[in-house]
Homo-oligomer: A and B are copies of this chain.
Amino acid sequence: MKLGDVGELEILERLRKRFASCSEDVIVGIGDDAAALDIQGHTLLISTDTMTEGIHFDLTLVTPYQVGFKLVSSNVSDIFAMGGRPKWSLLSMTLPPDTEKSFLDSFLEGISAGIKRYGLDLVGGDITGSRNSFTVSLTISGMAEKRVIRRSGASVGDRVYLSGPVGEASCGLELLKRLGRSVNLERGEELQLSLKWESVGPLLMRFLLPEACDVSEYSEYITSMIDISDGLFLDLTRLCRESSVGVRLYEVRLPVTEALGEVSAFLGKAPYGFITSGGEDYQQLFTSREPLSMFIEIGEITDRGLYIVRRDGSEEEIRPEGYQHFVSQ
């Protein structure tokens, strides 16, 4: 049997079972955004993310700088999702020997910009040759601020929040595919399109140079959290499964930004698909018992079943659509 027939979630489930036995100093092990480890009463958070050419990025659509910056943001987002403060990073690079030095320099410039953006230190790593593919891993560790926020803390009656709008990143990717080229946003490049650049620019930014979202200021009110890397429905399903709860969302509450509306229309697609199944927005999805008006309340936690109330009042089951490795999309 091949991995393509098994799927990422099942592989992860096997890993969790195989490596379940953990020491007392492991507060959170496999299966959350980051691991949490007890160091003499202080909680260390640690997480790793890998991006590989041809799967996570297509170098005809993104610049090496953007790959580097996004790698940092996606990792930082995992630490933020646990209510932590990222501090230290290690970078592993696997590069073909015919990689141009200028390519590596541009990638490292993106890493460097990310490191500065979040106030991190790069303290180590590894660089190795490869036969033909460019693969990069970043490990980020940091300290939990007040407490560790897990995926498993949601309970019935909690309100469900988004830290910001989702769907723009995947809509940006669709637009890039249509354009068939990369856009050098980090050098201030602007495109001449029939769309307003004020809409297109920020939307492309969400895909090409996303920023991780830190809601730790409100962590005392947050009962559970996950960052949206693979799509709202898929990541929400993960949160609900870990918390053993259900959820009811309301389509009418899902924000459609002006940019998303305009670019979706340009692409001839409905925003709904981008919002519910598009990945890489790096917003935080979290639950709270409190009304938190600075965030977007999109539904509530129920005791079972995952549903969304559509605009016409009908209730549809939420299927975890989003990006899973080893599953035909």
1/0 contact string of A17-48 vs chain B (CB within 8 Å): 01101110110111010110101101010111
Set B51, B123, B125: member contacting A26, Cβ < 8 A: B123
Q: Are B6 and A131 in contact (CB under 8 A)?
A: no
Q: How large is the interface on A (under 10, 10 to 19, 20 to 34, 35 or more residues)?
A: 35 or more
A60 within 8 A of B: no
Q: Which residues of B contact A94 (CB under 8 A)?
A: 50, 52, 135
Set B29, B42, B121, B127: member contacting A39, Cβ < 8 A: B42
Q: Are A92 and B137 in contact (CB under 8 A)?
A: yes
Number of copies: 2
1/0 contact string of A231-269 vs chain B (CB within 8 Å): 000000000000000000000000000000000000000
Chain B residue at minimal CB-CB distance from A99:
B3
| Alpha-carbon distance A2/B1, docked complex (angstroms) | 40
**Which chain A residues numbered 90 to 109 have a C-beta less than 8 Å away from chain B?**
90, 92, 94-95, 97-102, 104, 108
Known: A88-B37, A99-B2. A29 touches B123 (CB 8 A): yes
Q: Which residues of B contact A132 (CB under 8 A)?
A: 132-133
Q: Which residues of B contact A127 (CB under 8 A)?
A: 8, 11-12, 15, 325
Known: A23-B87, A35-B124, A141-B141; 10 extra A-B contacts, CB below 8 A, are A19-B122, A30-B123, A35-B88, A48-B90, A50-B92, A52-B131, A54-B130, A55-B129, A127-B325, A133-B135
